[in-house]
Amino acid sequence: MSMLEGDAGGTAAVERAAARVGRYRWAIVALLFFATVINYIDRQMIGVLKPTLSAELGWNETDFANVIFWFQAAYAIGYIGFGRFVDVVGARLGYAVAFIIWTAAHIAHGGVHSVMQFAAVRFGLGIGEAGNFPAGIKAVTEWFPARERAFAIGVFNAGANVGAIITPLLVPFLTLTYGWRMAFVLTGAFSIVWLVVWWAMYRRPREHKKVTAAEVAWIEQDPADPVEPIAWKRLIGIRETWAYALGKFCIDPIWWFFLFWLPGYLGTRYGLDLVSFGPPLVAIYLLSDVGSVFGGWMSSRLMKAGRSVNYARKATMLVCALAVLPIFFAQYIDSLWLAVLVIGIATAAHQAFSANLYTLPSDLFPRGAVGSVVGIGGTVGAIGGMLMAKYAGFILDSFGTYTPLFAVAGSAYLVALLLVHWLSPRLDRVAIG
């Protein structure tokens, strides 16, 4: 039997073993997926409503950028805070607290009027929403072995794109039917159902009555590592912490740019309104959804084929970084749907890149440090988002062109990958004594 046949046989045996042990862990991923859908509906609504709010409240690009800036500032604070919080209290309570904060702030959007008031409720939203990914990745770390984590993260991260797909379809309907204020209230009230289900279903694997001993053994197949929280000051001095954090600094602002400015860009460039920009946005985020799952699948498949974690993660991220480059030329495309294809490929590549970047804390650090490292990286990424918001507002108000913004978007992923490779050339696990 050839080596290739042996690898294929070993992969098949692993997949058969995974199927036999039970699948309750995938129910946990489903919960994380739906939470992320809600998270992105709540955060993207302001982007979809930007033309409506600008017309009704008299905002210019700088006003909108300032509202986004304070969301990002809160996200930076909340991300590092929740990263530590979920390491201490666990994913179940940590996620519940985050969800309550962001839902309350989201509903409060319906009662505000000025830029300052909008900035205040967006600040509250940012604090709560910052807990989504630290808690979600902590949950994946608790429920999945290393070989399945990238795919599991890719699946729940796909909820971001589903939320982004639902928003331009749902929000215009709610706004035209009930007004934009009630749109915030109704979407916030509906999402409380998730919190009830989460609290009823989530436990750690060993504490859960519906999880078999075989599935617990499968989840815990990796070598044991410490679960005690590790102090930030010890993590700050580790290169691998910054490999993750600077990667986030480069790519997170680009996703925020897509999320908050893309509806306005499509409206300005192609003459679309609150209703007509829905289908193009849906197409873009459908492609993003495919990218999110593909990125996790590709690196997991490479690992099952015998490639190292280092090779699998970085090869996947390189493919994604190259796929983003053509977005620079999207602004010169007169055909709406051809531009949608180019932008959609770029957003898909972002999600695939992001799914692999998100796995690095669990690849590199003991479980007791994962939430904190994710929090540090999220904070650094949010600081990048704050800078991008100010930059976008300045460029659009001063020059009225998206050219510098698309140039930054096209190059950011190659820069991120170079920084990751420079700081962690082999992605060796960190030993924290």
pLDDT tens readout for residues 253-285: 999 999 889 988 998 899 988 888 889 999 998
Structure tokens at 27: 């129910």
Contact present, 16 and 142 (Cβ < 8 Å) = no
Q: What pLDDT does 289 receive?
A: 80
Contact present, 259 and 164 (Cβ < 8 Å) = yes
Q: What pLDDT does 8 receive?
A: 46
Contact present, 51 and 263 (Cβ < 8 Å) = yes
Q: What pLDDT does 431 receive?
A: 81
Entry pTM: 0.79
Q: What pLDDT does 6 receive?
A: 45
**Closest to 74 (Cα-Cα) out of 386, 376, 372, 392:** 386
Q: What pLDDT does 2 receive?
A: 43
Instruction: Centre a 10 Å sphere on the Cβ of residue 348 and count the other Cβ atoms it contains.
Output: 26
Residues of the chain with pLDDT under 50: 1-11, 13-14
Lookup result for tokens 């209290």? 89
Residue 40 to residue 165: CA distance in whole angstroms: 9
Tally the residues of the chain.
433
Residue 219 to residue 37: CA distance in whole angstroms: 26
The CA-atom distances, in angstroms, between 111 and each of 46, 55, 67, 87, 107 are 14, 18, 16, 35, 8
Q: What pLDDT does 225 receive?
A: 61
Residue 37 to residue 157: CA distance in whole angstroms: 9
Residue 351 to residue 25: CA distance in whole angstroms: 22
| Per-residue pLDDT reduced to its tens digit, 36-85 | 999 999 999 999 998 889 889 899 999 999 999 999 999 888 877 887 78
DSSP assigned state of 225: -
Residue 244 to residue 241: CA distance in whole angstroms: 5
Q: What pLDDT does 337 receive?
A: 96
Q: What pLDDT does 20 receive?
A: 63
Residue 276 to residue 289: CA distance in whole angstroms: 21
Residue 234 to residue 328: CA distance in whole angstroms: 40
Residue 223 to residue 261: CA distance in whole angstroms: 44
Residue 119 CA, chain-centre distance (Å), reads 22
Q: What pLDDT does 25 receive?
A: 87
Structure tokens at 129: 């929403």
Residue 169 to residue 163: CA distance in whole angstroms: 10
Give the domains, in start order, of the chain with CATH numbers: 17-423 (1.20.1250.20)
| Per-residue pLDDT reduced to its tens digit, 117-144 | 999 999 999 999 989 988 898 899 888 8
The CA-atom distances, in angstroms, between 408 and each of 50, 270, 333 are 22, 22, 18
Residue 325 to residue 342: CA distance in whole angstroms: 10
Instruction: Centre a 10 Å sphere on the Cβ of residue 338 and count the other Cβ atoms it contains.
Output: 11
Residue 138 CA, chain-centre distance (Å), reads 14
Q: What pLDDT does 34 receive?
A: 94
The CA-atom distances, in angstroms, between 61 and each of 67, 260, 271 are 10, 12, 17
